Amino acid sequence: MIDLRSDTVTLPTLAMREAMAAAAVGDDVYGDDPSVNLLEERLAALLGKEAGLFVPSGTMGNLIAMLSQCARGDEVITARQYHVYCDEAGGAAIVGGIMFAPLEAASDGALDAAAIADTIKPDDFHNPPSRLLCLENTHCGKAIPLARMQQAAEVARANGLKVHLDGARIFNAVRALDVSAGEFAKTADSVSVCLSKGLGAPAGSVLLGARDLIDKSRRIRKFLGGGMRQAGVLAAAGLYALDHHIDRLDDDHTRAQNLADYLNSMNALEAECATNMVFVKCADRGFGGLAETCAKHGVIITEGGEKTRLVLHLGIDDAALATIKEAFTDWRKSTS
Ligand SMILES: Cc1ncc(COP(=O)(O)O)c(C=O)c1O
């Protein structure tokens, strides 16, 4: 099947599975897993941070970042469209008593510095203390320019806030904007990076930051139940992805643009490409029947209301791209 629902659906390649099978492992809760240790060290070096912590998911990485930098009653400023606010089941509020101040993301996906400045609360006992700014890059596939992140981070830091970057897909931004991961990471005190999206590993994220923050985070990971034992089999997939699946993100971006161009050439369709994602609108009849027609071609999509999102990844090669185009052509024929 050609699955366009997300880049989280990627399956480990044969070579990745071989690397997993050959991984040196130990008990990571004791700090004894050489593959996990190496993955944490390599990502820390890549992002210019002192240390890293392997966690089961991006959601846990973000939650630990908030719990390690906020106390109960503290406020996290973020966008209402960002994953930490709308897609993580309110974990920060449930586990940490943390409240969110959700702002509107700008059209480029960034948070405007002026809006952040307006939202930061004065030091007054009536207010929840504004403690942390949470940024996201990429956001809905949009690679956010470094300068926009720097402006946001500058306002936050000038007011004593820490900055967390949800970099679930930071390497898509790295490839799209030709900015190093280290430059993006400099804007933040903590960064979470997902291995299981476009990088194609089956699970795992790494939280990066200063040594004392990561030491504190290790205790939080423990009480959340995120300490894994012979996790090196998963870390080996992450190490393989760092070596083989970062540069190839360009292929996903190129195919996404190619698909968007094709859809834009079709009557009544309007498609926008952002790194590895395509968002398509249908001006005349909506998307009725699209998922069904795609399924006949072996293409799985989530039919949207106003927009349908199509995500390109390492499971989609040129032959698959051709099939996707055929599926859309077939659907348009049946609806026009
Ligand atoms: C921007 C962003 N952040 C965080 C996550 C959470 O990752 P996970 O599904 O591994 O918890 C996702 C998942 O799709 C995401 O898109």
User: What does the block give as tokens for 258?
Assistant: 């190619």
pLDDT category at 69 given cuts 50, 70, 90 is very high
The per-residue pLDDT for range 231-246, each reduced to its tens digit, is: 999 999 999 999 999 9
The domain made up of 249-335 has a fold known as Aspartate Aminotransferase, domain 1 (3.90.1150)
Q: What is the mean pLDDT of residues 151-175?
A: 98
Which residues' Cβ are closer than 6 Å to ligand 1? 8, 57-59, 83, 136, 166, 168, 194, 196, 205
Q: What percent of the chain has pLDDT over 70?
A: 100
The per-residue pLDDT for range 19-49, each reduced to its tens digit, is: 999 999 999 999 999 999 999 999 999 999 9
pLDDT of residue 267: 87
pLDDT of residue 283: 87
Model confidence at 289: pLDDT above 70: yes
pLDDT category at 86 given cuts 50, 70, 90 is very high
* Rounded Cα–Cα distance for residues 170 and 180 (Å): 10
Q: What is the mean pLDDT of residues 251-269?
A: 96
User: What does the block give as tokens for 130?
Assistant: 């504004």
The domain made up of 11-244 has a fold known as Aspartate Aminotransferase; domain 2 (3.40.640)
Structural domain boundaries in the chain: 11-244, 249-335
Spatial CA neighbour of 227 closest among 33, 11, 43, 12: 33
Model confidence at 230: pLDDT above 70: yes
Distance (Å) from CA 35 to ligand 1 centroid: 23
Which DSSP string do the residues of 45-60 spell out, in sequence order?
A: HHHT-SEEEEES-HHH
Q: What is the mean pLDDT of residues 267-275?
A: 95
| Placement of tokens 């997300």 in the chain | 6
Model confidence at 286: pLDDT above 90: no
CB 110 within 8 A of CB 148: yes
* Rounded Cα–Cα distance for residues 131 and 75 (Å): 6
Model confidence at 169: pLDDT above 90: yes
**pTM for the whole structure:** 0.98
* Rounded Cα–Cα distance for residues 231 and 23 (Å): 10
Distance (Å) from CA 87 to ligand 1 centroid: 8
pLDDT of residue 143: 98
pLDDT of residue 148: 98
Q: Provide Rg for the chain, Cα atoms.
A: 21
Distance (Å) from CA 83 to ligand 1 centroid: 7
CB 106 within 8 A of CB 112: yes
CB 240 within 8 A of CB 19: yes
pLDDT of residue 336: 64
Residues 6+ apart with CB under 8 A from 253: 172, 175, 176, 273, 275, 276, 312
pLDDT of residue 284: 81
Average pLDDT, the chain: 97
